[in-house]
Amino acid sequence: AKSQQRNGHFYFSRSMGIEIRERVRMMHALRKGFLANELFVVYQPQIDLVTRRPTGAEALLRWQTSDGILISPDRFIPIAEYSGLIIEIGEWVLRGACHELVRLRAAGYLDLTMSINVSQVQFRHPLFPVMLCAALEDSKAPPEFIELEITESMAMEEPDQLIEMLAQIKQTGVSIAIDDFGTGFSSLSYLQRLQVDRLKIDRAFVTEITGSARGSSIAEMVIQLGRNLGLSVVAEGVEDERQAAVLQALGCPMAQGFLFARPLTAAALHEWLANDGL
C-alpha cells in the first residue's frame, strides 16, 4: 500500500495519458466514420398514454463502425463535443430528421412531431439559429412539428444567455423540450422565464415509480409542474405496463420507451406506423 501511495502520482499521470490518447484515437475514428457514412439516425416513437397512439418520434444518433461494432452515443457524443465535430454532426442529424419528418408527412402522418437532441456546444454556437433556419427552409419541414431537446444541466448555466438564445430560436416556430428533467436543480422561477414547451421526465425517475410511495414523487412533481405551467410532459424509458399505468394515473400525457417501441430505423418506423404502431 505504501509503494502504491508513493507511486500514486506516477500511475495517475500515466493513466491520464492513456485516456487522452484513447480520446484522440476515437476522435479521428469518429471523423473518418462520419465521412464514411458510418453514422445513422434511428427514431423512437412517442405515444399518447391514454389513446396509445403515436404522437411523434425522437431522433437518436447511432455509430456503427466498419467492423460492425455499435458505439453508444453516450460514449461518442462527448468526443464529438470535445473535438467540435458535434457542430457538423449535429447539423447533419437536424437536417436528416427534418427530411424524415417531411417523408412521414408525405406518407400521411400529419400529426407527428420530430424531436431532435441538441448538444450545448451546438446550442451555444452563435450561428445556431441561422443553421436552424436554413435546415427548416431547405427541408420544407414545418417548424411547429419540430422540437429541440436541450438538457436540464444546460438550462442551468448562464441564464441570461440561454433566455436570449431560446427567444431567438422560438422565433423560427420550433418547440423546446427540457430533457432529463428532474436530474438538475433548476428553480421554478427560472423555468418560468424560459420559453420552453415540454418537460421530459428522466428515465431514472420512471424506473423508481413502481418501487415505493416516495419513488414516484419526482415524476409526480414534474407532471404537476407541467400542468401548472401549461407545459406538455413526456415520460422517458417506460419499460413495462405497471410504469405506464402509474404514469397514466398521475396524469402524464405522453410516454416513450421500450414498452411501446425501441428506436427504429426510418424504414422500420414507417412499417411500425403502418401496422398501427402497437
Contact residues: ligand C2E, CB under 6 A? 44, 60-61, 72-74, 77, 90, 93, 117-119, 179-180, 203, 236-239, 256-258, 263
| CB distance 196 to 162 below 8 Å | no
Q: By C-beta, is 100 or 180 nearer to Ca ion?
A: 180
| CB distance 234 to 213 below 8 Å | no
**CA torsion 94→97→98→99, rounded to 10°?**
120
Q: By C-beta, is 112 or 206 nearer to ligand C2E?
A: 206
Q: Which stretch binds Ca ion (CB under 5 A): 16-24, 141-149, 164-172, 223-231?
A: 141-149
243 binds, among Ca ion, ligand C2E, none (CB under 5 to 8 A by kind): none
Instruction: Rule CB under 5 A: say whether 91 interacts with Ca ion.
Output: no
CA distance 70 to 29: 13
57 binds, among ligand C2E, Ca ion, none (CB under 5 to 8 A by kind): none
- Quote the cell numbers at residue 139: 427541408
Radius of gyration of the chain (CA): 20
CA distance 238 to 9: 44
Q: By C-beta, is 17 or 38 nearer to ligand C2E?
A: 38
Instruction: Rule CB under 5 A: say whether 46 interacts with Ca ion.
Output: no
Burial of 36 (0-12, 13-18, 19+ CB in 10 A): exposed
- Quote the cell numbers at residue 48: 399518447
Q: By C-beta, is 77 or 233 nearer to ligand C2E?
A: 77
Least distance between ligand C2E and beta carbon 134 (Å) = 18
Nearest to 181, CA basis, from 144, 229, 135, 140 = 229
Least distance between ligand C2E and beta carbon 148 (Å) = 10
User: Of the candidates 117, 139, 216, 243, which one interacts with Ca ion according to CB under 5 A?
Assistant: 117
Interface with Ca ion (CB under 5 A): 117, 149, 179-180
